[in-house]
Structure 1
Amino acid sequence: MNQRFTMSERALALAGLVQALAQVRRVADTGQANAAILATAMDSVFRIDAPSPAAVFGGAEALRPGLTLLRDYFTNQARDEQLPRLALAVLQLERRFARDREMAARVQAGIRAQAGHAERLGSSHPDVLAALGGLYAETLSHLRPRVLVQGNPHYLGQATVVAEVRAILLAAVRSAVLWRQLGGSLWDFLLRRRELLAAVAAHLG
């Protein structure tokens, strides 16, 4: 992915990020994810060599929930105040991750090691989520700033829920990597906000 990409494609990466993080929040609060949205997030982890930004997520239509969240954020209608903070933390974490080549290689190797299981069982199968959650715990969770997820202590006290949260965080980092590869930066939120909102609105129709 080294050609010039448009703001439209950058918006898809950002939508993938917030859509995954909304599921992190949902799982932390309720112990349950939306199955279709979870599958979109986890499938993206294994599409390392996708031919286009949209293909990472199985098509732009799969990102409608995330695009809606972005539109609400850019028009000051966001309902979850923690989501923007979580997104900022993941974007900052990804910058540290991108500079650590050894860790990046470990994460990519760990993902490839699970690719066969994901293809056979499904990317959101509990065994795959447990493995990817463990991979996140062994690697990215050691970087600073740590991504702190708040939620219901009843669910966050369960090992399977914690593993699922970490696995979805890995998917969020995947989207953050794509965002950076497409030239995205925090300056876009300040200097290109209208352009980004227009791209989001165009996708939503």
Structure 2
Amino acid sequence: MAKNYVDITLALAGVCQSALLVQQLAHHSKCDEHPFRILLHSLLDLKPTSVRAVYSDALVNLKIGLETLQKILNISVGEERGAELARYTLGLMVLERKLNRNRSAQNKLCRYIGALEPQLLHCDILSETIVSAIAHIYVDVISPLGLRIQVTGVPAILQNSQIKDKVRAVLLAGIRSAVLWQQVGGGRLQLMFSRRRLCAQTKQLLLQC
């Protein structure tokens, strides 16, 4: 069966969007609010009807993720910020593979995500309460898997507890996108052998945003 490169590219853009928001938080102590909201909402839909449904059914919700993917696919040697984004993206893919091989962690993650629903009746998803709860899910479920993504930025910013929570919440959302990427036929070999096709698909989707 032929792979659906639209869905593969969209899910990969979700991973890249997480990488960009982590970078923004680490260097500037803030990130684009709407893409942040979209990514956190993506955690809640564990049985989506489509890839676009995960990102609230609007292509524009992944615009900065598609732009980041385009940047990573065309990265220049020595481009520090681009290399940082690529490192975060690949790290999220590795964590997804570790999660995929750990059924206990998967079950725990599903229980924790389900427990967020009652809280969302009273709190906005970007509230400190919810972001902190998502960050704790990352610490409890993902951190024990054995790979720590080294986030680089301004040390004073990275020491802030609220920034730490936001970074961990965004990383968890990135893993969710990496899970989706694998489910629709994505794989790391595509980044090496199907780069031109991914580039073309990314460019086409950006024109539609």
TM-score between both structures, scaled by the size of structure 2: 0.91
Residue deviations 1:15-73 (CA, integer Å, cap 9, x gap): 01111111111112222121111101101111112110011011222101111111222
Q: How does 1:64-103 map to 2 (within 5 A)?
A: 64-76=63-75, 79-103=81-105
The residue that corresponds to 2:108 in the other structure is 106
The residue that corresponds to 1:20 in the other structure is 18
The residue that corresponds to 2:173 in the other structure is 171
The residue that corresponds to 1:204 in the other structure is 206
Q: Give the deviation of 1:119 after TM superposition.
A: 4.8
CA distance in 1, matches of 2:121, 2:204: 33
Residue deviations 1:147-185 (CA, integer Å, cap 9, x gap): 111121112112111111101100000000000111111
The residue that corresponds to 1:192 in the other structure is 194
Q: How does 1:133-144 map to 2 (within 5 A)?
A: 133-144=135-146
Letter in 2 for 1:168: V
Residues 118 and 124 in structure 1, CA contact (< 8 A), matched pair in contact too: no
Q: What's the secondary structure of 1:121's corresponding residue?
A: coil
In structure 2, relative to structure 1, the CA distance for the partners of 1:176 and 1:32 (3 Å cut) is: same
Please list every run of 5 or more consecutive structure 2 residues that lacks an aligned counterpart in the other structure: none
Please list every run of 5 or more consecutive structure 1 residues that lacks an aligned counterpart in the other structure: none
CA distance in 2, matches of 1:14, 1:103: 23
Q: Give the deviation of 1:75 after TM superposition.
A: 2.8
- Paired residues, what number? 203
- Across the aligned residues of Structure 1 and Structure 2, the Cα RMSD in angstroms comes to 1.7
Q: What's the secondary structure of 1:122's corresponding residue?
A: coil
Letter in 2 for 1:83: L
